[in-house]
Chains A and B, each alone.
Chain A
Amino acid sequence: MAIPPGINESDFTAALAEFENAVGKDWVFTRDEDTRLYRDAFSPVQNEPEEILVSAAVAPDNVEEVQAVVRTANRYGVPIYPISTGRNLGYGGSAPNLSGSVVLDLKRMNRVIEVDDKRHFAIVEPGVSYFDLYRYIQDRNLKVLIDCPDPGWGSVVGNSLDHGVGYTWGLYRDHFIAHSGMEVVLPNGEIMRTGMGALPGAESWGDYRYGFGPHVDGLFSQGGFGVVTKMGFHLMPEPEAYLKGIVTVPARQDIVDLTAMVNQLEHQGIIGMPNYNTPLAPHLATPEVSAMLSQPFAQAAQELERWAQGNELGYYSVELQFYGPRETVQSNWRYAQRLIGDIPGATFETLHELEWPIAADEAEGLHKVALGIPNLEIFRLGTRQSADTLGWDGEMWFAPIIPKNGEAVLEAQEVFTEAFREAGMPSFTHPASTPQTWMYRAFVFLMGFPVSKVDVAANQRQREMFTHLANLGAEHGWGEYRTPPIFQDLVMSHYSFNDHVLRRFSETLKDAVDPNGIISAGRGGIWPRHLRDRSA
């Protein structure tokens, strides 16, 4: 049996016995065959000494059991790592930052407490997946839309706490901003409620997120200050209609005007999430174009643009999604065409028009999450691509935040593509790369680094490049919004304004709130005092 660091075997045995008393023998896992199920399934250090393994897992059913487990852990100094459903694939999965931690698996706490389709909110426990919440709403014919990330199996609570994101309208797709109030078990075992939940008898937990006084909810996202056991979320009312149109523009520099115009639409609430892409995507791997792209950036960009224009393919596209009354979505689409029509050569096409309720066959083949329908179809992108290769076994996401304008996109294209060329690696970016737009007010210049279950050397190369790009990005003012545990110290080190005062402030709070450092040590780059040297 593995023992957590900093604790002797007899204390750990005693703690495990108390865990069993708290949650029942069926829900304490110490055998290797069970604890290995809390590894990061997409670990970039799989089967290497750095791989993070857990000593045990405990799965409470309710908040009282969570309190009992936390109190025991606090008394014995057992490091625990709460997970909701333990997905978070590509950003660490279910694995803690500190090897030997005991995972506090909250999957069994899967109650939907309440969904209100007149005031438009939900209150759920951490084990509730997007699939669960969707089914709950469908079964009761409630008129609200959920905003979900691509994989629907993740936790509504967990995704929010990881600053996860989705695909519909404005702030609904920033899942932490969309939350309203939480219940937290603190490191000493006390239960705290935030927002209106702190006011006994208040009926507005799901409505008003701040309550009164300092808004402390952020400490529980990407942080180790407590175990979140319930959260409220604002939901979008089910709209009448959905319209998706696509705009194509011909020149590389058009991204500057295009993003400004799309921002103008989005920040007024006229469109939901815009999806930037390039019509060149299907052609990038052809011998002709890939030869073009192997040249130094400036030349590659120039030739690619000429080639795109010669073939009349367009250089960038953006899908615009309209939600609302049927008259309004049509009118807003016409306004978007009038606005963006100022870009010479811009073309417009209406792709889909739907009205709620949307039948399953109507949504087939569409991007279902934009319609609030959870699914797992995204994994087609990574699974076996041909009969003789396995493709990726997983990925780690490199996800730097850049400003929401075309100038930043052009700069990021060049900086990252040149970095790959200088490293002699196949580039994940090119002179027509476009950003992800999940965040309402920022772009993410996302790259998926492949990880292998068997090829240690390949994983090492990918990690080196990931580290290089993270450092390079930071030099340009671009920082990751979320990252696998092995990179969290590095990424936090980039947020260094005024001698790392942000990290030091969080450490001060950590020492006060969790003096024994038991909860999620190292998460978000914040280590408890007794482990701080390891990250220095």
Chain B
Amino acid sequence: MKHLMTALTIVGLLLSMSSGAQVPEDGQTSRELGILLEAPESRAELIARGEAVYEYWCNACHGPEMLKPGTAALAIKYQGALPAALTERTDMVPEFVEQMVRQGISMMPFFRPTEVSNADLGALTAFLTDNSGD
């Protein structure tokens, strides 16, 4: 876990909350997710990180509710042949997840390493493919 924390660049949470109402300096900050630059050592940590990445970056479009645009679009595309919600899929392979994130499809734009770093993409891929082949 120590390794995970040092690998994260979540400096904000570690800084003192000292801002007050002065002309603002970097003090009280909010950088809840941070950006992962190195993969965690354990698979459990990797998948937990992947879930956090999913919640932060993917869930707003791909959550299970049919109001979510990604889920609504996939329901139309797959017509029941596959689940519309990504977390219910068991068929995804890492290359597919990586391609969707880095290339986008239809209205879904691509995501950059300043948003989803390569290490975070690895964690996300691990999370989304964790149940594949079960």
Contact = CB atoms under 8 A, between A and B. Distances in A.
Interface of A: 26-27, 29, 33-34, 37-38, 41-42, 57, 59, 61-62, 85-86, 89, 93, 105, 107-108, 110-114, 116, 123, 128, 131-132, 135-136, 152-153, 193, 196-197, 199-203, 205, 230, 364-365, 375-380, 382-387, 390-394
Nearest to B59: A376
A114 B113 contact: no
B23 A200 contact: yes
Contact of A385 (B70, B76, B104): B76
Interface of B: 9, 12, 19, 21-32, 35, 37, 60-61, 65, 67-70, 72-73, 76-77, 79, 102, 104, 106-115
B10 to A, nearest CB: 11
Contacts of A37: 102, 110-113
Contact of B69 (A200, A380, A393): A380
Nearest to B32: A135
Given A202-B23, A383-B72, 6 more contacts: A86-B112, A136-B30, A196-B23, A377-B69, A385-B76, A394-B107
A391 B69 CA distance: 13
Given A37-B110, A89-B109, A387-B77, A123 B24 contact: yes
Contacts of B27: 113
A203 B23 CA distance: 6
Contact of B104 (A29, A41, A386): A41
Contacts, number: 124
B60 A382 contact: no
A111 B111 CA distance: 20
B76 A113 contact: no
A505 B37 CA distance: 46
Contact of B76 (A59, A384, A393): A384
A473 B68 CA distance: 35
12 contacts: A29-B113, A34-B112, A37-B113, A59-B114, A107-B112, A108-B114, A112-B29, A113-B24, A128-B30, A132-B32, A387-B76, A387-B79
A379 B23 contact: no
B72 A390 contact: no
A391 B106 contact: yes
B60 A375 contact: yes
Contact of B67 (A112, A128, A377): A377
B106 A390 contact: yes
Nearest to A381: B69
A26 B107 contact: no
Given A382-B107, A383-B69, A384-B76, A114 B19 contact: yes
A387 B80 CA distance: 11
Contacts of B12: 111
Given A105-B112, A375-B60, A365 B67 contact: yes
